[in-house]
Structure 1
Amino acid sequence: MLNGKIALVTGAGSGLGRAIAEGLAAEGATAVLVGRRGQALLQTEERIRSAGGKAVSYAADVSRQEEVEALRRKVLEHPGVPSLLVNAAGIYGELKPVSETDPALWVQVLMTNTAGPYYICRAFARDMIETGWGRIVNITSAASLGKPNPNNSAYAVSKVALNHFTRKLAAELEGTGVTANVLHPGEVKTEMFEAIRQASSAEGGMSGWVKWVEETGGDAPEKSVQRILDLTKPEAAGLNGRFLWIDNGLKNPMPSWESD
Structure 2
Amino acid sequence: MANTYDFADRAAVVTGGARGIGRAVAERLIEGGARVALWDRDAAKAEETARELGPAAMAVAVDVTDYGSVERARDATLDQFSRIDVLVNNAGIAGPNAPTWEYDLDAWRQVMAINLDGPFHCCRAVAPVMIGQGYGRIVNVASIAGKEGNPNAPAYSASKAGLIALTKSLGKELAAHDIAVNAVTPAAAKTEIFSQMTEEFIGYMLSKIPRGRFVEVEEVASLIVFAASKECSFTTGSVFDVSGGRATY
**1:124 and 2:126 matched:** yes
Alpha-carbon deviations, 1:227-249, whole Å to 9, x = none?
Answer: 23323555521110001124xx5
Over the matched positions of the two proteins, sequence identity in percent amounts to 31
* Equivalent-residue separation in structure 2 for 1:155 and 1:6 (angstroms): 30
Alpha-carbon deviations, 1:66-123, whole Å to 9, x = none?
Answer: 1111112211211222111000000011110123222111111001000100000110
Partner of 2:159: 158
* Equivalent-residue separation in structure 1 for 2:115 and 2:225 (angstroms): 23
Classify the secondary structure of the residue corresponding to 1:31. strand
Length-normalised TM-score, structure 2:
0.90
Partner of 1:189: 190
Partner of 2:10: 5
Tell me if structure 1 keeps the 8 A contact 2:38–2:60.
Answer: yes
* Equivalent-residue separation in structure 2 for 1:227 and 1:210 (angstroms): 21
Mark the runs of 5 or more structure 1 residues left unpaired by the alignment: 256-260
- Deviating above 4 A after TM superposition, structure 1's stretches of 4 or more consecutive aligned residues are 210-213, 232-235
Tell me if structure 1 keeps the 8 A contact 2:28–2:225.
Answer: no
Cα distance change on mapping 1:241 and 1:30 into 2, 3 Å: same
Length-normalised TM-score, structure 1:
0.86
Mark the runs of 5 or more structure 2 residues left unpaired by the alignment: 1-5
Paired residues, number? 243
Partner of 2:248: 254
* Equivalent-residue separation in structure 2 for 1:16 and 1:194 (angstroms): 15
Partner of 1:108: 110
Classify the secondary structure of the residue corresponding to 1:238. coil
Partner of 1:258: none
Q: Aligned-pair RMSD on alpha carbons? A: 2.0
Structure with the bigger RCO (C-alpha within 8 Å, sep 6+) is 2
* Equivalent-residue separation in structure 1 for 2:231 and 2:66 (angstroms): 36
Partner of 2:219: 223
* Equivalent-residue separation in structure 2 for 1:117 and 1:209 (angstroms): 24
